[in-house]
Chains A and B, each alone.
Chain A
Amino acid sequence: MEKFVKIFKISAQKELAYRSNFIMWRIRNILQIFLIFFLWDSVFSEPQKTIFSYDRPKILTYVFSLLFVRAIVLTSQATEISGQVARGDISSLLLKPVGFFKYWLTRDVSKKIINVCFAFFEGLILYLILKPQIYIQTNPIYLLLFMISLIMAFFIFYFLVMANNSIPFWVPEAAWGVNFILISVLVEFLSGAVFPLNVLPVYFQNLLSYTPFPYLVFFPIQIYLGNFSYIYAIKGIIVSGVWLFLICLLVKILWDKGLRTYQAQGS
């Protein structure tokens, strides 16, 4: 346990060592929120309007929760691994007396905690500037289900990234490309991190519910907003648990096979 605490601390120090990088990254997050906030603010310019089953406070809460949910779920250090696999840089870590997956999970947690802290302050500043109507969930059951769904989303994303990171074992030059497609395109749009998925037609929403993406951002926020019944929320958590199990299994198979083909080129 002690070594993971040390990894956690070193990772946090490393993250904050490049302060300008970190600050710029956070500024970028805020700018993205700005676009989404004003887009919805414009759509819901009439206070009584209800579209896509949202009213003004709920949609603005969705936008604000994105700041936190993205920091908890979609922030990751493990995206570096694909490049390391391609360059053969993972060899040194594989030889160390520390679990590879636990090591990267610790680094991920470290990065997420720092980002959540900053997201809190940014949220506060944005709240004071934009003064949106916010929906506060007070029902403890919904809050509990929200927390559980967030934890599930956290692990689903981690293992999705890990599955993705194994592709360079076979196609080293695709290290950047696969991360771009998975994280910048598929997860970003299909998880609800850019817009709530209710905007899409029902058949498209049904299609998406057969993928793990909605369980990353859209589903936890819907639970927080109380848009799902308890039963539906619990069903969703079970489905995300099934996805987590399947992706874990996939990661295990891919990494077992990948490490057998790994030749540490260039290391």
Chain B
Amino acid sequence: MDKKSLNITIPDFFQKLDLSRLSVLLKRSTSKFAQKIKYFIFNFSFIVARFRYYFELWMKMTRNSFMVLLAQKRLFFLFLIGKLLRFILFGVFLIFLVKGSGSLAGYSVNESIFFFLTYNLIDVISQFLYREVYRFRPLVVSGDLDLIMTKPYSTLFRVLLGGVDLIDFVTILPLVVLLIYFGSMLDPTFIELVYFLILTLNGLVIATAFHIAVLSLGIITYETDHVIWIYRDLTSLGRLPVDIYKQPLRAIITYLIPVGLMMSFPVRSLLGLMPFWGVAGSLVFGSLLIILSIKFWNFSVLRYRSAGS
């Protein structure tokens, strides 16, 4: 068919183009792309395999932790009762306080309860996952960390996730039910709910970063016991909306010690009080913190002196 008959004008550039050269270039770039795809697929399968390996390892360690705790049933029930009592008593106090005073920093009873429940969810999940951090100091002081370092898995994985807490685990489901119950009363839109879920996950990421930082500090200073409790006390400031604190303390516990970001921002987003840039900024902040904490861990591990071993 004649080109003119099609009434199509082909630019000079294409007419001068060496098609044979183009074909070589195309073949080369295709093979590079194919290589990249292959590399990605290989790495992806590698990542999946590693994830599966660590997940199976975590399940084994979790099973062991559960068996240890269930061997001491009385102790398990004592701690469970204690934790539930503490939760109920503070909740009851909060309800009567907000009812009696009308509101708490402008938040209603249901909203204040939702702040308290969200704090508890993030706190309980991080305690359930990272209970091993509370047992880290003896490993460093005695030099027993050597034994973990020689094992064919990440040391950080083992000291962070190696001993989950069954007591906290059993409280997660009732907390989620309560959150759904009180959350539905606040009548959020779909996007507010999505923001809430994203920021709650971000809160957990920040909690992870804190725990990694505590472990890293433990290697350098041989001190984790009090640091982790100070972390707990600091986060407990997020038990109630950070709006109750005055400036500059509010700014400090929102951004410098990001308790507000962890605990209050998710609820604020559910109440429609968080703009998109606030959500995005929180995610950037959370990502930065986790990267920094891992870098700090790598820095600390190089300074481990294996004292006492």
Contact = CB atoms under 8 A, between A and B. Distances in A.
B75 interface: yes
A176 B93 CA distance: 26
A139 interface: no
Interface in A173-199: 173-174, 176-178, 180-181, 184-186, 188-190, 194-195, 199
B231 to A, nearest CB: 10
A181 B85 contact: yes
Interface of B is mostly: helix
A194 B90 contact: yes
Interface stretch (A22-30, A73-81, A105-113, A155-163): A22-30
Given A20-B226, A43-B97, A200-B93, A181 B78 contact: yes
Contact of A181 (B81, B230, B240): B81
A265 interface: no
Contacts of B82: 177, 180-181, 184-185
Contact of A39 (B72, B86, B229, B244): B244
B237 interface: yes
A200 B88 CA distance: 13
A67 B237 CA distance: 17
B168 to A, nearest CB: 14
Contacts of A171: 74
A201 interface: yes
Given A24-B229, A41-B244, A181-B82, A199 B100 contact: yes
B93 A189 contact: yes
Contact of A185 (B85, B93, B233, B245): B85
A174 B79 CA distance: 9
Contacts of B288: none
A21 interface: yes
A95 interface: no
A25 B97 contact: no
* Residue among A34, A171, A176 facing the most chain B CB atoms (10 A cut-off): A34
Contact of B236 (A35, A43, A177, A180): A35
A100 interface: no
A38 B249 contact: yes
Nearest to B78: A177
Nearest to B80: A177
A21 B86 CA distance: 25
Contact of A31 (B81, B92, B101, B237): B237
A42 interface: yes
B223 A43 contact: no
Contact of B93 (A41, A184, A199): A199
A80 B156 CA distance: 32
A62 to B, nearest CB: 13
A173 B100 contact: no
A35 B230 contact: no
Contacts of B246: 38, 41
Given A20-B223, A31-B233, A38-B244, A194 B93 contact: yes
Contacts of B223: 20
Contacts of B225: 21
A39 B244 CA distance: 6
Interface string B72-110: 101100110110011001101100110011001100000
Contacts of B236: 31-32, 35
Contact of A28 (B90, B93, B100, B229): B229
A51 interface: yes
Given A42-B244, A174-B75, A28 B230 contact: yes
A173 B75 contact: yes
B239 interface: yes
Contacts of B72: 173
A194 B92 CA distance: 13
B88 to A, nearest CB: 9
A42 B97 contact: no
Nearest to A186: B85
Interface string B179-218: 0000000000000000000000000000000000000000
Given A28-B229, A31-B234, A185-B86, 10 more contacts: A24-B226, A24-B229, A27-B230, A38-B246, A51-B100, A174-B74, A176-B75, A184-B86, A189-B85, A189-B93
3 closest A-B pairs (Cβ-Cβ)? A177-B78, A24-B226, A42-B244
19 contacts: A20-B223, A24-B229, A25-B226, A27-B230, A32-B236, A34-B249, A39-B240, A51-B100, A173-B72, A173-B75, A174-B75, A177-B75, A177-B82, A181-B78, A184-B86, A185-B86, A189-B93, A195-B93, A199-B97
Interface of A: 20-21, 24-25, 27-28, 31-32, 34-35, 38-39, 41-43, 51-52, 171, 173-174, 176-178, 180-181, 184-186, 188-190, 194-195, 199-201
